[in-house]
Amino acid sequence: MTRQFRALAAAGAVVLAACGTDGNDAEQRAEQRADQEPAAAAAAAPPFDTVTAAALSKSGHDRLLAGAFDPSNRLYAAGWVADGTDQALAVTRYRADGSLDASFGTAGVASVNVATGGKAAELARGVVVQPGGKVVISGVAEHDPAAEGDGARDTDVVLARFDDLGRPDPSFGSAGVVRLDLSTGVAEGTAYRSDMSWGLVGLPDGKLLVVGGQVAPGRTDLDFAVVRLTADGARDTTFANGGVAVVGVAPGVSETPRSAVALPDGRVVVAGYAAIDGVVRTVLFALTPAGALDPAFGQGGIAVHAVLGNVGEAYAVAVLGNGRLVTTGYGKDTAEAKVDLIAGGFTPTGAVDPAHGTNGVVRIDIAGEDDRGRHLAVTPSGGAIIVGSGKPTATNLEGMVVRLSRDGALGDRRLVDLGGPNDSFFGVAVSPDGSRAAAVGYAGHDPADSSRNDDGAILWLRP
């Protein structure tokens, strides 16, 4: 299945770039790959700039929210599947040529329902492939699926590991599942805060770093909670306080954790955001290999920046080829404005990089509507692929792909119709050999149309 792509000119005009894949197109792409890539990689690569539909649930919604390649260039895409209203963690696997690997799980999909009988809380937002080939996904699930009232909204951080055939791995946690109950959820007005997780980082020794949040003791705001686990899912007690590093910007400020990047020297930089004095600010902090705040980063290990006047969120963080940090998310200058996709640039010590974009920010605005960055991956050239969503009209949301150079300069931008009116990408990964990349997301359908379901989707790209 193929979808329509639209390249976005620098002035904001929409230009038809590519549509369809007839035989001549496929032959031309194959010839180009043979010229530009090693023969073995070219033979295995999927058709670039095409979308693979991934309807994982036969009768319910499903979405793909994160992706990771294994050493054999197979893609794992994680998210959730639903049977009625009860969601379950799920991961699917694709061969190096882009086809679904039916030998994995059931027809290419492996799933586990951690909170049977729950509703729409259970989902996976992180996926890593450990040394040895086992795949781990992470997310959240209901603490007690039978609870009522506010208790029904309480969630825990959960991880699941699968073997090469897509079976839950009994050597990981309990029957392949690790549950982290970091705090008890609390209500504050109409808001409810409880344990959450967004990012998952695989470390070189097989250990796992979970980026999440927990309710601050004795308060109702959320703090960052970074958990390091051993390769088999036990808390790594050599890290921070019993395996958990809790970081808060200030008492009473509720942080929103998102993702992290592991640095070659063993430190990690974590990204998220927080509302302070009426402005949503980018938050970055660095942890040493032992889980302590790095005093050489920001102020006492934490860097907080109002990158735009009203909102400046950070969803993902990476290191470009120039050694500088880059984030992506979305923001705006005033409360009344629509949000733009943004890419923030920062020095290795957490200061705003004035040479990046305008005053440290590159921003994308499509036709004056809401545009959002959700994730990014560094390419072999040291640049970045950013994925998210863009609005060509007030009633249509499409997946968006943006490229930055290794120096943070804005490159190609494109919108991708994934098949619904509410499409989006939430994950992106580059293969270990650098021959391909994949943007992971979903075709989101009109909630008022009960005859249609959200379906996962993958866009195959040249890195």
Three-class secondary structure assignment of the chain? CCCCEEEECCCCCEEEEECCCCHHHHHHHHHHHHHHCCHHHHHHCCCCCEEEEECCCCCCCEEEEEEEECCCCCEEEEEEEEECCEEEEEEEEECCCCCECCCCCECCEEEECCCCCCCCCCEEEEEEECCCCCEEEEEEEECCCCCCHHHHHCEEEEEEEECCCCCECCCCCECCEEEECCCCCEEECCEEECCEEEEEEECCCCCEEEEEEEECCCCCCEEEEEEEECCCCCECCCCCECCEEEECCCCCCCEEEEEEEECCCCCEEEEEEEEECCEEEEEEEEECCCCCECCCCCECCEEEECCCCCEECCCEEEECCCCCEEEEEEEECCCCCCCEEEEEEECCCCCECCCCCECCEEEECCCCCCCEEEEEEECCCCCEEEEEEEEEECCEEEEEEEEECCCCCEEEEEEECCCCCECEEEEEEECCCCCCEEEEEEECCCCCCCCCCCEEEEEEECC
- The band of 85, judged by pLDDT with boundaries at 50, 70 and 90, is confident
Question: Does 171 score more than 60 pLDDT?
Answer: yes
Domains of the chain: 5-35+45-461 (2.130.10.10)
Question: Does 400 score more than 70 pLDDT?
Answer: yes
The 10s digit of each residue's pLDDT in 433-443 is: 999 999 999 99
The 10s digit of each residue's pLDDT in 285-307 is: 999 999 999 999 999 999 999 99
More confident residue, 13 or 458: 458
* Res 7: pLDDT: 52
pTM of the entire predicted model: 0.91
The 10s digit of each residue's pLDDT in 38-47 is: 444 445 678 8
* Res 451: pLDDT: 73
Question: Does 311 score more than 50 pLDDT?
Answer: yes
Question: Does 21 score more than 60 pLDDT?
Answer: no
